Chain A
Amino acid sequence: MNFGESDAERGLRAEVREVLRTPPVRGALDDLARAMAAGEREPDVRPLYRAIAAHRLFAASWPEEYGGRGVSHLEAAAVIEELVRGGMPDMLQVLSVQIVGLFLLEAGSPAQRARYLPALASGELFATVLYTEPEVGSDLASLRATAVRDGDGYRLSGTKVFGLKSGMSDIGLCAVRTGTGVTKYEGISLFLVDLHADGVTRGTIASLADEQYDRVELDGVRVGADALLGAEGEGWSLLTRCLAIERTGLDYSLKAARWYDATLSGLAADTADDALLEEVGRYGAAVDAARLLAWNSISQLGRGPLDPTSAAIAKYHTSETAQQVAYWAALVHGHGYGLRGLAPDKAAVLEAGYREGPGLTLSAGTSEMMLELVASSGFDRPDVIGGAGDGPQI
């Protein structure tokens, strides 16, 4: 284990900080700040993303031919950490690059990679996922949207809900049913859908958080055979891999750290009582542990598929911690976050965090599903140092 930074990570972090100071990026960050201060809940982040992507930092782990730098997953994580700490909202980047893009890298055909990855890395295109549906919830294999053969292509129909950023995205990674099998896990296929195509209707569902849920209607949307990802009817196993990639916990750990720091900004040691000090310590360690669990997951990415149990552990702890920190901040700083004289920008961060918190333990797999995953597969893991091993013989 190496808890320090490699020279490459240190160099990339320094470069990111430089990039964040360049006029195009600085200007885009300032525009975002102004929009949010004016009450805009979900300002357009794409100009900022494109300014960053111009430095090939948006998808740094991707091969150079696809617009990346070919750095390791660990080095790419360092880039993302530094960008988020510098003020970059990460949701659309997570969806576009860390989920759909990585999935394309792992499972896409050479033609699909060549077509989409450079455009995603440069910010020319953005992508989101279209998984769940009304009444489906977490039980994705119960999905009802369909793709039926239409000449040399398919027509997709159905309703997808509770996605994010569809309004700013150009393509959607869409799970639909192309057939049936002995179990409901058979007959599911994945397609890349052009969200500007005829038959696609994008709307939002009013929700608590600043980032609104989407409702995407697919009404006989025509796609070519080249939109199919992997083999027809075998999307479930690909989907399982894709879901694990979503669960490194890096994005949640960054939220936890941001909200914890905002909470601390209004506290001083000489005015905090013993009970509050204990919470400062306990939540601080939980936030640190969140980062370590996320990096533990990312450390595995470089040596093959992400272990689903490690991913579930990371996802559970990081999302639960971020949520708990947001709730704790509301108690510590009181009504309107005004109890201890918090700066307005920090109060705004915590206000948004409180409303975002509940979604964290639902998205990318609920906390209950993570516990189920750990319970069903994690207990028999012959772990490394500190792991369960074979149990004590006493």
Chain B
Amino acid sequence: MDLRSDPVLERIAGTVRDGLGAAGAGPDGSATLAALADLDGFAFAASMELGGFDLGLSCGVTIAVELGRRALPDVYTGGMLVADALAEAADDAPGADVAAAVVAGKQVVVAAGLDRATVGDAAPAEPSPGGWRLPEVLTVDDVYPDAAVCTAFRTGDGEVLLAVLPATLWRPLARPAFPWSGHAPSPAAVAPGEIPSGQVIGSLGAGRPLTDPAGLLARHRVRQAGYLLGLGLGAHALAVAHAAGRRQFDRYVLDNQAVAFPLAKAKIDLEAARLLVHRAAWLADAGGPFAREAAEALAWTAEVTLRTVRTSVQVHGARGLTVAAPVHRFFEVVRPAATRLGPPGALWRESALRRLAEYHTAVAERQS
């Protein structure tokens, strides 16, 4: 195990960072989409069959980190879920047109339903003549005007399917939750209505934990963990910069251990998150099992980032609660991002089941 940084990924990270730095970050994600598309950012990690460069999940994570670092709208991970599901699909396969548009940087996809369907407590969809009807509304991030939705839903026999819904097949129901701000993508409820069977693009399997035969869920979890990691790093950097430049009681705020130590602890937790996230991505790219590692990377990063953002807002004082302080946007974005693929508690329970099974299997093998 040699954990020195990969220079190729470092260069990609720097390129994406610079490109996104020039993008104005609006709540609808248009500028972010344009900036990432200009870099061919959507092609880096996509399969060659879809016109991508096939640089792997590690590369996808790197891009997600850079989006999160600036609390930019997540215009990336939902599209990559579709691209993964259709990585080897024929041109006329359901959703293949959406996947191709994603890779070309012309289509934003937001993921929905994964928080309920993947942790086992979602009500099953009702079969209908043309496909399925969901029993409840979905919540998505309102990041782009004409976004498609990639939704997960549970069928009556316990299988979890993925379907892609173009903008014509869903409609928003709710207003943004942070109307006072306008600086961050906000959750919106959507009613998908009927899910035509022709829009189904893949399966996440069945059971508890989900079998996830193609690793679609695990890969999506790792990218989401990357986005969260970026959020944590970005908020932390803002807090350090603020505390290092602001003077109170005739000294810099950062010179107080009561301020510096929580930031140091956050730095340590984020470094652990960085390694957990990149390990899961590396295992995926190496073709090994990585379901547990993906779940843990996401759960760890969600909890650490939520704590880090809280600390970072606190370090800013009252001004951190105003829209004038950039850290406020991290506060808004992290909440839906931390649970979009299920609450961390559910992920930890899934991880525990896998760990206990692995442990007792290994013991039994040694004894035999």
Residues of A at the B interface (CB closer than 8 Å) are 1-6, 9, 74, 261, 264-265, 267-269, 272, 274, 276-282, 284-286, 288-289, 292-293, 295-296, 299-300, 303, 313, 316-317, 368, 371-372, 374-376, 378-379, 384-394
Contact = CB atoms under 8 A, between A and B. Distances in A.
Contact of B349 (A4, A264, A274, A372): A274
Contacts of A299: 1-4
Interface stretch (B96-104, B148-156, B230-238): B230-238
B296 A284 contact: yes
Centre residue among B3, B21, B350, B357 by max chain A CB count within 10 A? B3
B263 A285 contact: no
Interface of B: 1-6, 9-10, 13, 17, 21, 25, 58, 62, 65, 69-72, 229-230, 233-234, 236-238, 240-241, 244, 254, 257, 260-261, 263-265, 267-268, 270-279, 282-283, 286, 293, 295-296, 299-300, 326, 329, 345, 347-353, 355-357, 359-360, 363
Contacts of A272: 352, 356
B352 A278 contact: yes
A388 B236 contact: yes
A289 B270 CA distance: 11
Contacts of B360: 268
Nearest to B280: A3
Nearest to B237: A391
Given A289-B272, A293-B271, A1 B5 contact: yes
A183 B236 CA distance: 34
A267 B237 contact: no
B209 to A, nearest CB: 11
B1 A5 contact: yes
A71 to B, nearest CB: 13
B2 A74 contact: yes
Centre residue among B236, B276, B355 by max chain A CB count within 10 A? B355
Contacts of B264: 371-372, 374-375, 378
Contact of B3 (A267, A296, A388): A296
Given A284-B296, A375-B263, A386-B233, A296 B355 contact: no
Given A293-B275, A389-B233, A391-B234, A2 B348 contact: no
B10 A281 contact: no
5 contacts: A285-B351, A295-B1, A371-B265, A375-B263, A386-B274
The 3 closest A-B pairs by CB, nearest first: A281-B348, A281-B351, A391-B237
Contacts of B21: 393
Given A277-B349, A278-B352, A392-B234, A303 B4 contact: yes
Contacts of B2: 1-2, 6, 74, 299
Contacts of A286: 272
B353 A392 contact: no
A289 B277 CA distance: 10
B1 A2 contact: yes
A313 B4 contact: no
Given A261-B359, A268-B360, A379 B349 contact: no
B interface majority secondary structure? helix
Contact of A385 (B62, B279, B299): B62
Contacts of B17: 389
A393 B70 contact: yes
A156 B88 CA distance: 74
Given A292-B276, A379-B267, A1 B4 contact: yes
Contacts of A74: 1-2
Contact of B278 (A1, A4, A284, A316): A1
A282 B292 CA distance: 12
A264 B278 CA distance: 26
Given A74-B1, A295-B1, A1 B282 contact: yes
Nearest to B233: A388
A292 B275 contact: yes
Nearest to B272: A289
Given A385-B62, A392-B237, A393-B21, A293 B272 contact: yes
B356 A385 contact: no
Contacts of B349: 274, 277-278, 281
Contact of B286 (A4, A261, A317): A4
B261 to A, nearest CB: 5
Nearest to B301: A285
Contacts of B363: 265
Given A1-B6, A295-B3, A313-B268, A386 B357 contact: no
A281 B296 contact: yes
A340 to B, nearest CB: 13
B355 A3 contact: no
Contact of B272 (A268, A317, A375): A317
Contacts of B279: 3, 288, 292
A257 to B, nearest CB: 11
A391 B241 contact: yes
Contacts of A276: 352
A270 to B, nearest CB: 9
Contacts of A388: 233, 236-237, 240, 267
B289 to A, nearest CB: 13
Contacts of B350: 281
A277 B352 contact: yes
A205 B175 CA distance: 68
A341 to B, nearest CB: 14
